[in-house]
Amino acid sequence: MVLRVKLLVIFSLFCFVGSTFAQSWTLLPTTNNPSPRRNASAVHDPSQNRMIVFGGVDATGNKNDVWSLNLSTLAWTTITPSTGNVPAPRFSHNAMIDSSSNRMLIWSGQGSALYNDVWSFNFADSSWIELWANGNISGAPLTRYGTGAIYDAARSRLVNYAGFTSSGRFQDTWYFETDSIVWREQTKTLSPGLRCLHSVCFAPDLRKMIMYGGQRSGPLDDIWALDVDSFEWSDLAPASKPSARYFASVIYSGNGNVIMFGGQTAIGPSGELWLFSLTNNMWQPLNGGTTKPSPRQGHTSVHVPSTNRMIVFGGTDGNLFNETWEFNAATATVEENGGFPFDFFLEQNFPNPFNPSTRIRYNLPNTAFTSLRVFDILGREVAVLVNHEQARGIQDIIFDAASLPVGVYFYKLRQGLYVETKKMLFMK
């Protein structure tokens, strides 16, 4: 029996090349870090291979500082202008790269007020220019935060969807022409609906803005594509999807692949990493290895095309972060198996410690009889969560320990030859 299990593991390692085994996170050893913060925004500047971060909220309040991370030396440097006109401190705004003009564009956000101003940060001399003044006027979007915006360099347009305004959540689509300095509304009958705090990225090769999740009366889990030429929305409606969330981050890594990390779910911040294939219209969870970012929301991410890396900075789980992580997106591919990884894996429950309920997530490589049982520290069975045939793919189970005493528990997942056990802590 032991030999058979070993052969099965070896077969998996050699035959399923490109599965989740190869994917990895790296905590970058950066120096001179910015203050820990959430809800900042960032772009990748390809001309100098650096990540530029603007604003957010730290322990002292709203920020309007600008930081540069050299992705070769891994040193952070403040490039905040000491003179000249600057945007007001803010969070939950949008940052976009305009490589053709060697600048970063900033739009919207919240600080001492809601904003609908547009600013340009010149990389050559680290100076700000206000392109559109803040204020509610006819012919422009209302002031707002928690928006989703991209920059379409081919047409010199900032494209935005929705956000939270002084009149509540909206479902409007606008673009801002950076050459003629004018807003134009393109709201159509079909749209993703009222929301804020959603995540967007741009697939320039497909001419699509991809929008995921957000918040309405609670977290959302839908994913949509906007044709940035016709301004028609398409509900992608995949058969399976991650749990609903907002304040996640998404990047477009090319070849029709969108990568999403973290976010605030109904039960707390997430540390999950997912890939969505626009080609196959499928979500796939990605296992980033044993060393990975802790669950968080309100972080900011950029994509580095030259190395196909996702760079993640900051965020919060109740405590603010200022660490920088890198994920090798080149290894993130969808397997030809219905959108689910071949691996059998059992994730750490979340939250942990918990009170009184927690979520247990796992992946099954086959459709077969499955058991998920909970034991106390003395090895006594206290709960049977699953004891029947389950379909292959991602499974989510909620364990409620309200009737049990506080303490250490173990949960064991079994399907055929696959067995895995993890420890969890119930605290009040």
Q: Which of 278, 216, 280, 283 is nearest to 243 (CA)?
A: 283
Q: Is residue 233 part of a domain?
A: yes
Q: Which of 300, 331, 362 is the last residue of a domain?
A: 331
Q: Which of 296, 331, 366 is the last residue of a domain?
A: 331
* Whether residues 188 and 74 fall in one domain: yes
* Whether residues 58 and 201 fall in one domain: yes
- What is the reported pLDDT for 367? 81
Range of the domain at 199: 25-331
Q: Is the dihedral of CA 57, 160, 270, 383 positive or negative?
A: positive
Q: Is residue 271 part of a domain?
A: yes
Q: In whole angstroms, what is the distance from residue 377 CA to residue 312 CA?
A: 37
287 Cβ neighbours under 8 A, 6+ residues apart: 20, 21, 23, 273, 341, 343, 345
Q: In whole angstroms, what is the distance from residue 110 CA to residue 89 CA?
A: 8
* Whether residues 230 and 375 fall in one domain: no
- What is the reported pLDDT for 332? 59
Residues 116, 109: contact at Cβ < 8 Å?
Answer: no
Q: Which of 149, 171, 151, 152 is nearest to 160 (CA)?
A: 149
* Whether residues 178 and 70 fall in one domain: yes
Q: In whole angstroms, what is the distance from residue 318 CA to residue 295 CA?
A: 10
The verdict on whether omega for the bond into residue 353 sits within 30 degrees of 0, i.e. cis, is yes
Q: Is residue 11 part of a domain?
A: no
Q: In whole angstroms, what is the distance from residue 113 CA to residue 401 CA?
A: 43
* Whether residues 223 and 149 fall in one domain: yes
- What is the reported pLDDT for 335? 41
Q: Is residue 184 part of a domain?
A: yes
- What is the reported pLDDT for 8? 32
C-alpha 269 chain-centroid distance: 11
- What is the reported pLDDT for 339? 47
Q: What residues in the chain have per-residue pLDDT under 50?
A: 1-22, 333-340
Integer Rg of the chain from CA: 23
User: Residue 153 class from Cβ within 10 Å (0-12 exposed, 13-18 middle, 19+ buried)?
Assistant: middle
- What is the reported pLDDT for 170? 97
Q: For residue 258, list its beta bridge partners.
A: 252, 276
| H or E stretch covering 14 | helix 2-15
Task: Tokens for 33, please give them.
Answer: 């870090």
* Whether residues 315 and 384 fall in one domain: no
* Whether residues 53 and 200 fall in one domain: yes
Residue with tokens 């605290």, as numbered in its chain: 427
Task: Tokens for 61, please give them.
Answer: 């309040």
CATH number at residue 294: 2.120.10.80
Q: Which of 331, 356, 385 is the last residue of a domain?
A: 331
Q: Is residue 2 part of a domain?
A: no
CATH number at residue 379: 2.60.40.1930
Q: Is residue 4 part of a domain?
A: no
400 Cβ neighbours under 8 A, 6+ residues apart: 356, 357
Q: Is residue 153 part of a domain?
A: yes
Q: In whole angstroms, what is the distance from residue 223 CA to residue 241 CA?
A: 9
- What is the reported pLDDT for 195? 98
DSSP 62-131: EEEEEEEEETTT-BEEE---SSS--PPPBBS-EEEEEGGGTEEEEEEEESSSEEEEEEEEETTTTEEEEE
For 291-335, write each residue's pLDDT tens digit.
899 999 999 999 999 999 999 999 999 999 999 999 998 765 444
| H or E stretch covering 6 | helix 2-15
* Whether residues 258 and 395 fall in one domain: no
Q: Is residue 7 part of a domain?
A: no
Single-letter amino acid code for the residue at 92? S
Query: What is the number of domains present in the chain?
Result: 2
The conformation of residue 255, written as its DSSP 8-state character, comes to T
Single-letter amino acid code for the residue at 421? T
